[in-house]
Every structure is written in C-alpha cells, then in structure tokens.
Amino acid sequence: MRYPVYQINAFSDQPFGGNSACVVPLTVWLSDELMLAIAKQNAVAETAFFIDQGTSVALRWFTPDHEIDLCGHATLATAHCLIKHYNYPTQPIHFTTQSGSLYVSVKQGRYQLDLPAQPGTLSELPQVIAKSLSIQPNEIYKARDYLVVYDTQNEIESLQIDRPVFDQINLGPGGVIVTAPGEKYDFVSRFFTPQATILEDPVTGSAHCTLVPYWAKRLKKSTLHSQQCSARGGELWCEDQGERVQVSGLARTFSAGAFSI
C-alpha cells in the first residue's frame, strides 16, 4: 500500500523553523505497531495520523517512542494539511482525540487551536530532575508536565540538561517545561522529555495548556505572546479562556510525498 505523507513546520513560516510534524492521511487505522514504526522512520517529534469522518476528523499522535494523548503542534500541522492540501471546507475543524474534542480555526492568517487548560498546582521537583538541571528554579508546579519557573530569559536559553541523570525518571506522557518572563515576549519556554528519542521538543503547543493559565494569572492579562526558544524556535499567540486555552501560530509545508509498506 502507498500512503501520502506531509512534513509540516508548525508555529513558524520558516523552512527550518518551528516544530516539524509528519502528517499521514488514512482511510482506516493501521495497527498501533505499524503507526509507531512509521513514526520511528519519520524521526520527527510527532507523526499525526488522521481519518476524515465527514463532520469530524479522527486524530492520533505518535512520537518515535509511543502514542501520546495530546499534541498541539501536530494538530496545527494536520489542520494546515487539511486546508492547504485537501481543501477541507469546514471551520472550525473538529478533531476527535484521546483528549476529547479539539477545534482549529484560521484567524488573522494563523491557525488557532482550542485546547483544554491544564493549570498546575504547587509542587516539589523530584530530586533526580533537580540534579539534572544546570540552574535551579524558583517555583515548581505540576499538571501533566512539571512547570519549572525561572527569573530571566537568559537562564532559559543557557539551561543545560544532564541527560543521563534526567533519563532516570519516567514521566509517562509528560515532560518538564522551563519558563521565564521574556525580553520581547510575555514569556519564553523550553520543553524536555526524559527517556525520549528527542530530548528537547522545538515548539510544544500542549505545554501552553499549563503555561498560559500560569502567566495569565501572574501577568494579570488574558492575551499573551510567547516564544519557545529552542534551536529551531517558534512563536505563539495565546489566550486564557478559563477551562480552555487558545493557541495560535503559523505553519509551512516543508515537503510532500508518499511511502509504501
């Protein structure tokens, strides 16, 4: 069988910016083992598989290591694929996922994701994570991910992870978000996943389900502009809506092709 595949940069309009996701349209689900093998072969942070069901689109996400329950950038990439390459007529696009219904619209030339808010609660950082960080944080919160708060953007940019130590902990589908006030943005962040093939995720939409409630409360504003300052980098426009978070960004198709299995 031959399947189309699109490699799409999410949260950037640059050819080598943002977070790259592969998007694979299907008519029926492949086995979990085969979809994981395809994700390993693609070797990007996430591969999204979707089935157009008419009034909604069923969507699943696989890293090179396992299936995950929520992925913002690959959802944005799938919306871009549907609209730009399949002339999908309905907006917002209704995705059905393991995390419930997700919606994507195009507003002001950007793809806007409607995601569930996941505010963190005050917590303590596991000792193994603390030992893996080259700079110690001021505040720690826990939702799906650990949210680790610093004072300055420079600390976020210069932070290093001792990977052999970091990989001693298993956070399941979660990871560690590091964040601080931005110099030109409301806030900046980076995202790391222990025991993952790709340690640092270039741009993480799902992390903003926790970042946005935190910064909205701290800065006393509901609309926020953020940067994920990884090597590839990404830009996000966000809005806190209580139980939901709106996360918007640009996208660009890097390549389109097909594979056979």
* Residues classed as catalytic: 46
Q: Is 196 exposed, middle or buried (0-12, 13-18, 19+ CB in 10 A)?
A: middle
